[in-house]
Structures are given as C-alpha cells and as structure tokens.
Amino acid sequence: MASKSANASRLIKSYPIISTQMDSKRLEIILEQLESVLDNAIEGDIVEFGCYEGTTTLFMRRLLEEVSSPKALHAYDSFEGLPAKSIEDASVAGSAFKEGELRVSKRDLLYNFKKANLKPPIIHKKWFNQLQDKDVPDAIAFAFLDGDFFNSIKVSLEIVWPKLSKQGIVVIDDYMRSNLPGATRAVDDFFNDMTIKTKHQNNLAIVQKN
C-alpha cells in the first residue's frame, strides 16, 4: 500500500478543504492511496461513491492532473442528502446524521469545479441501489466510498469490488467511527469470508485486492 506522497502533502497545503466533513489527515491518506494506484499503473478508472460538495473529488482531480493521468473520474451521489438509517446504524453516540442532512445539488458540485478551474467528474445522480452495470466502469483502479450508513456502504462495495482490478485499492470513510457504526459493520460483514487484510487509519478502512 501507499507510502508518504509529496504530491498529496503539497496539494493539501496549496488548496482549501471546502467541507467540514473532511480533514487534512484523512484527505492525505486518500490521495496517497490514489497515487500508489497511479504509480503502479493499475488498470481502470477512479470512482467516488458519495461526493457531497466535492472536497475529495476536487483533490483527486488535482492529483490526476498533477501526474497527467488519463483515467476517468466518476462521482456518484443522490444529491438528496442522507438516506434513512437502518438498524445497523443505531448508535449510543447520539442521533446525528439524520435523513435528508448533508444535501447539496449537482449544480453546487459543478460550481465548485468551475470555481477551481478544474474539469468536472463524470457525475451519476442516483441512489446507489438504483445504479445499473452500465453506470460503473468495467475496470476500477481506485474507489473512495463515503456513504456513511450500512446499506450505502454495503451496496457500494457490492458494486465496486467485482470491478476492482487486481492490486486496486478501495478506501472506505467513517470506519471505526462511533456515531456512524453502520460503515464499520458493512465493511466487516462484506470482507468477513474473504482472505483480505483490511487496514484502518484515521477512520478510514483501506483494502487492496489480491
């Protein structure tokens, strides 16, 4: 897996993080993992499930441009805010992250890319469980999953994992985060019967396909 990246650190110091839902430590880890995939010429495109305002999307685009990568960048979001929680999302840490919260429009995302003078991603405005096979690249090199809740992470893993190339990497946000336990449960359940090593760091689960 990835080691420290000078590109990741420099990009984070050079551009603002536009959302309180992401911090510099997690963002640097995500970019390091993405750069590792790019350095090793892993086959496939880049996908993000749950892009919100586009903070992570913007930085992934900047890194792709920095290394002149031709890989396509796909962003998936309902743009309707959070879905309803399931029983797997129940948390003693409180009732934060309610249905409909964290809602932004597709127009907002596009505006943030225009303001940054960056090429926008290929945007898919659907709930994850509405996606069809044709909506997702046949080969995926890197995936960042930020669905917050059990069902969203479970569905996105079911979509991404079969298409993830050998040595491709998937990073899942909110792992081991007490007020979003569904994300951890989804990751642990999905990989439970696989001989796959899951690394976790700063509330991120990092999995590389054998």
Statement: residue 89 has pLDDT above 90 = no
Is residue 137 assigned to a domain? Answer: yes
Statement: residue 110 has pLDDT above 80 = yes
CATH of the domain at 164: 3.40.50.150
Is residue 1 assigned to a domain? Answer: no
* 157-200 residue pLDDT tens: 999 999 999 999 999 999 999 889 999 999 999 999 888 888 99
Higher pLDDT pick, 191 / 85: 191
The tokens for 201 are 């760091």
* 23-52 residue pLDDT tens: 999 999 999 999 999 999 999 999 999 999
Is residue 16 assigned to a domain? Answer: yes
Q: How many domains does the chain have?
A: 1
Is residue 48 assigned to a domain? Answer: yes
Q: How many residues does the chain have?
A: 210
Statement: residue 93 has pLDDT above 60 = no
**Which pLDDT score, from 0 to 100, does residue 194 have?**
87
DSSP designation for 201 = E
Is residue 183 assigned to a domain? Answer: yes
Statement: residue 128 has pLDDT above 70 = yes
Higher pLDDT pick, 7 / 83: 7
Statement: residue 98 has pLDDT above 90 = no
The tokens for 150 are 């059990």
The bridge status of strand 164-173 relative to strand 204-208 is antiparallel
Residue 91 banded pLDDT, cuts 50, 70, 90 = confident
Statement: residue 113 has pLDDT above 70 = yes
Structural domain including 46 reads: 6-208
Is residue 163 assigned to a domain? Answer: yes
The answer to whether residues 181 and 56 touch, using CB atoms and an 8 Å cutoff, is: no
